[in-house]
Structure 1
Amino acid sequence: MTGPLDIRGARRRYVTVCVLFWLPLGLTIAPLILLLTERGMAMAAIAGFFAAHSLTAAALELPTGGLSDVLGRRAVLAAAGLLNLTALTLQGLGTTGWVLGFGMVLMGAGRALSSGPAEAWYVDTVHAHSGPGAELRTGLARGASATSAALAAGTLLGGTLPWLLGLGPDLGARLSGATSGLVLPLSVPLLLGAAVEIAFVLYVLAALPEPPRPAATLGDVLRGIPATVAGGLRLGRRDALVRRVLLSAGAAGSALAAIELLTPGRAAALTGASESGAVLFAALACAGFVCSAIGSHLAPLTARLAGSGERAVLVSLGTSASGLLLLGATAASTGVGSMVLAAIGYGLVYVGLGAAGPSENDVLHHRVAGSGRATALSVQSLAMQLTGALTGLIISVLPPSPLPWLLGGAVLLAGALLWTCRGEPTAPGLDGADLRHPDADHPHQDDLMAGRTQ
C-alpha cells in the first residue's frame, strides 16, 4: 500500500467487514437447528455437531490468533471467509451426518480464524496514520454496533425467508422437488449466507491494505506461532489492566451463557408451548442484538460521562449485572409486572455488555504491541468461551429457580467490581517493550481524546 488510510476510511472499511462477516452467521441462528432436524438428525447428533464446533473454535483460538500476527490480517480473514463459505454450503446442502458435522467443524475453524484480525487491522491502520496514542474507542464502538445490527438483521431474515417461501402455492415443495430434496426452504438462508461470504472474501482482499510483511516460509510461520501464543498467555500475568480485561471477558461469558441457556425455557413457559416459545426467543434474540448495538454506539458517550474508560467499563458491566439480577428476581413470577421488569432486565444486560466492549478493547489495544494484538484478542475470546462453557455446566445441574440467573448476575457483578481499582502504570508487552503510549502517566488523556472527532 502506498500510505496508511485516514481514520474515517479505516472506520468505514472496518464496519463493512464486520457487517459482511456477521450477517451470514446471523442468517443461521433461526433455521439451523430446524434444518438439521428436517434432515433427520436426532437431538443427540445435533448436540454433538455444536460440541464439535465449540471444541474446534476453542482448540484453534490461540494458534490462529498467532497466525494472524505472523502471516497478516488480510490473509487470515480471507481464509476465515472461505472456511465459512464451505461450511454454510455443506450445512445448506448436506443430507448425511458426516457432511453436516464436517460443516460445523469448518465453521468452528472459521470462527477461530476470524477472532481478532479485523479489529487488529483497524487498530494497526489507525496507529499507522495517527500514532500509538490515537483514539480507538469510536471506531471499535461502531464496529461492535455494526456486528450486533448484522446479527439482528440476519436473525430476522433467516427466520422469515423459509416462512415466506411457504406462503406461495407449494413453492417450498417445488423447490425441494426441483433439487431432489437437496435444497429445502430452511436451506435458503444458509445458501444466502454463503453468497454473502463470497462478497466478504472479495472485499477483504480488495479493501484491507496492509504494509508488506517479511516473506515467511511455512517453517517461519510454524516457529513464530508458539512464541506469539506464549506471549499472549503471559500478558495477563504481567499487566493488571489486561488481566482485568480478560477476567471481565470471562464474566461476560458467564452472563451470556446464563441468559442464552435459560431464556428459551422461560419463553416457552410464558407462552405455554415450545413452538410459540421458539418464536418469542427468536424475537428476544433479535432485540438483544439491537440493545447490544445501542450500547456499543453509546460507548464513547459513556466514557466521556464516566470520566475515563475504566470507569465506563465499571458502569457498563454494573448495568448489565443489574439487568441479570433483575431477571433472577422475577424468575419465579409470571405476572404482567414481572414480565415488564424481566424485559427491562433483558435489555439492560445487552446494553451494558455492548457499552463495555469498546472501552475494554480500547484499554487492551493501548497496552498490547502490534506484534501480538490479534493473539491478545484471541486470549480474550478464549476466556469468554471457556468461562461460558463452565457456567453452562454449572447451570445445567442447578434446579429451575432464580438461582442460575442470580449466579450469572453475581459473576458479572464481580467482573464489574474489578474496575474499581486503578491499573498498573507500566506494562511489558508481548515483545518485551514498554507498551505505554506517551500519555500513560495521565490516565484520563485517552478518554479526553474520545470526544474528539476525526
Structure 2
Amino acid sequence: MPLSHKILLIFNAISVGIIVPVLTLIFFQHGGSSETLWAIMGAYSVSVVILEIPSGMIADFIGRKKVFVLSHILSLISFFLIINSNSLWLLIIAVIFLGASRAFASGSVEALEVELFIKKNGVEKLDTINNILSIIDSVGTFLGAALGGFLGYLDNTYTILLILLIISEIIIIFFSMAVIHETNTSVVYRLETSLWKRLKANLLLVIAEIKNTRIVLNIVLMSLVLGISLSTIETYWQSTFIRYISPQKNWLLGIISCSAYIGVGLGSSVGKYCFNLLKKHRKYAKISYYFTRVLLPVSLMGIYICKNGIWFAVNYFVMYLILGVGNLVENTVLHASIQNSHRASILSCISLAIKAGGLVTSFLGGIILKNTEIAIIWLVAPIVSIFIIACIIYKFDLSA
C-alpha cells in the first residue's frame, strides 16, 4: 500500500474517531434529547439503508475514488448543518446527510486497496492487507477519539470539535483527489445504457452471487446481528457510562473510546494468528467465526450487570477485542470469495445489513425508553441477537 494511501486512511479514521466519544452528546446540544435519540439514530439508519446498495454499485460503475470524495462532501454538509442546528428537525436532516456519507464511504477505498493487493500478491495473503487496514483504522480512530474526548471536555458546546471536523473534511476531499489514482478499476457495464438499467442488471448479479456462495450469504445474514450489537454499543454507551462518573470526569469518554480501537487492533492481530492456524481446517475456521459473533452479544450483557465505571470500561474493551477477531476472519474469507467487479456492491450489502440491524436497535430502543430504563437495552438486544444467530446456524448449517 502506498504511503500516501496510508496517510489518507489514517487521517480519514482520525476524522471518524473524533466524533465517536461525544456523538450523542453533540445531538443533545443541537436539538436532540434522550427521548428523541431513537428517532435521530433511526433517521440515520434509514438514510444508510436506502443508499447503501446503490452507493456500492455506483462505486463499481464510476470508480472508488469519486464515490469516496462524494462521501466526504456529504459529511461536510452534515457537520455544517449540525453546528447550525438548534431544533430536532434540522438535526434529523443533518444526520440524514451523515448517513448518506457513511453509505457512500463504505467499502469504496477498502475495495480499491484490496484489489490492488490481490493484483500484486494474489489471494493467499489477504489476511495481511485486512490486518493492515484494521490496524490503520484502529490507530486513526484511537487518535481521533482521544482528540475528540479532549475537545469535548474543553468545550461542552462541541463547537470547536465541529469546526475541526469541517476543516478535516475539506482537507480529506482535496488530499483524496491528489493521491488516489484509479487507473485500473473493476468498473462494469460501461455500455451506452441508462444508469437505472445498469444498476438493475448489477443488482441481479450481486444477489445471485450472494445466494450461490454459502459463506457470503452467511456473512451478510450475520451482519444483521452484528449491526444490532454495534448500534446498541454506539448509541447507548455514552449515556450509560456517564451515570457512573461525575461531570468533572467527562474527559474519560475519550479514554474509553480509545480503548475500543486498541481492542479492535489487538483483536485483528489475534484474528490473523487464529486464521492462519485454522485456515487449513475450513470447518473449524467457520466455527471460530460463529463463536466470535455469538460472544459479542454475550459480552453486551456484561454492561447490564456492570455497577461501576471500572467494570464498564473493562467490558467495553473486551467487546471490541472480540469484534476485532471476528472482523479479521470475516473480511479475509469474504474478499477471497467475491469478484472484483462486485466487491464494492457486496461490501455495501454487508454494510446495509449492519445498518438494518441498527434499525432493529432503534425500534427496540423506542419501545424500551417509553416503558422502562435505558439499562434494559443491554439485556434485550443481546437476547434478540443470539436468537437470530441460532436461526441462521440452524437454517444454513445444521439443516444443510
User: What TM-score do the two structures reach when normalised by structure 1?
Assistant: 0.73
Does the Cα contact within 8 Å between 1:232 and 1:379 map onto a contact in 2? no
Instruction: State the shift of 1:353 in Å.
Output: 1.3
Correspondent of 1:360 among 287, 308, 330? 330
CA gap 1:214/1:348 in 2 versus in 1, 3 angstroms? closer
What letter matches 1:102 in structure 2?
I
Name the structure 2 match of 1:331: 304
For residue 289 of structure 1, what is the amino acid of its counterpart? Y
Supply the distance in 2 between the matched residues of 1:327 and 1:96 (Cα, whole angstroms).
32
Q: 1:51-62 maps to which residues of 2 (within 5 A)? A: 51-62=42-53
Distance change (3 Å), C-alpha of 1:327 and 1:107: closer
Larger radius of gyration: 1
Q: Which moves more between the two structures, 82-91 or 307-316?
A: 307-316
Q: Which residue of 2 aligns with 1:246?
A: 220
The aligned residue for residue 288 of structure 2 is 315
1:404–1:100 CA distance, 2 compared to 1 (3 A): closer
| 1:411, distance to aligned residue in structure 2 (A) | 4.8
Task: Decide whether aligned partners of structure 1 residues 262 and 164 sit closer, same or farther in structure 2, where only a CA change above 3 A counts.
Answer: closer
**TM, length-normalised to structure 2:** 0.81
Q: Distance in 1 between matches of 2:324 and 2:391?
A: 15
C-alpha distance in structure 1 between counterparts of 2:306 and 2:118, whole Å: 51
Match of 1:232 in 2: 206
Deviation at 1:199, TM superposition (A): 2.4
Matched-pair contact (CA < 8 Å) for 2:228–2:381: no
Offset, 1:282:
5.0
Cα distance in 1 between the residues matched to 2:290 and 2:329: 11
Given that residues 22 and 148 in structure 2 are in contact (C-alpha distance below 8 angstroms), is that contact kept between their aligned partners in structure 1?
yes
Match of 2:275 in 1: 303
Alignment match, 1:292? 264
Q: Which amino acid aligns with 1:66?
A: M
Deviation at residue 81 of structure 1 after TM alignment: 1.5
1:129-155 deviation per Cα after TM superposition (whole angstroms, max 9, x unaligned): 344x35222112221222233223222
Residue 379 (structure 1) shift = 0.5
Which sections of structure 1, spanning at least 5 residues, go unmatched? 1-7, 167-184, 425-454
Cα 1:280/1:396, change in 2 over 3 Å: farther
Aligned length: 390
Matched, 1:410 2:386: yes
Name 1:384's counterpart in structure 2: 354
**Mapping of residues 54-93 of structure 1, within 5 Å:** 54-93=45-84
1:159 aligns with 2:149: yes
Judge which range, 384-393 or 207-216, deviates more: 207-216
* 1:247-278 per-position Cα deviation (integer Å, ceiling 9, x unaligned): 2222222222344455446535544x7x5796
Output the amino acid matched with 2:45.
S
Structure 2 residue aligned with 1:120, among 94, 97, 111? Answer: 111
Query: CA offset at residue 390 of structure 1?
Result: 1.7
Shift in alpha-carbon separation, 1:324–1:282, aligned structure 2, 3 A: farther
Q: Which runs of 5+ in 2 are unaligned?
A: none
Q: 1:16 aligns with which of 7, 26, 40?
A: 7
Aligned partner of 1:143 among 133, 147, 154: 133
Using CA pairs under 8 Å that are at least 6 residues apart, name the structure with larger relative contact order, 1 or 2.
2
**1:209 aligned partner:** 181
The question of whether the paired residues in 2 share the 8 Å contact of 1:20 and 1:199 is answered with no
How high is the sequence identity, in percent, across the aligned residues?
A: 21
Letter in 2 for 1:143: L
Shift of 1:215: 10
| Residues 146/44 of structure 1: CA separation in 2 closer, same or farther (3 Å cut) | same
Residue 103 of structure 1: SS of its match in structure 2?
helix
CA distance in 2, matches of 1:359, 1:89: 38
Asked whether the equivalents of residues 248 and 415 of structure 1 are also in contact (C-alpha less than 8 Å), the reply is no
Separation (CA, whole Å) in 1 of partners of 2:256 and 2:34: 23
Q: Secondary structure at the match of 2:158?
A: helix
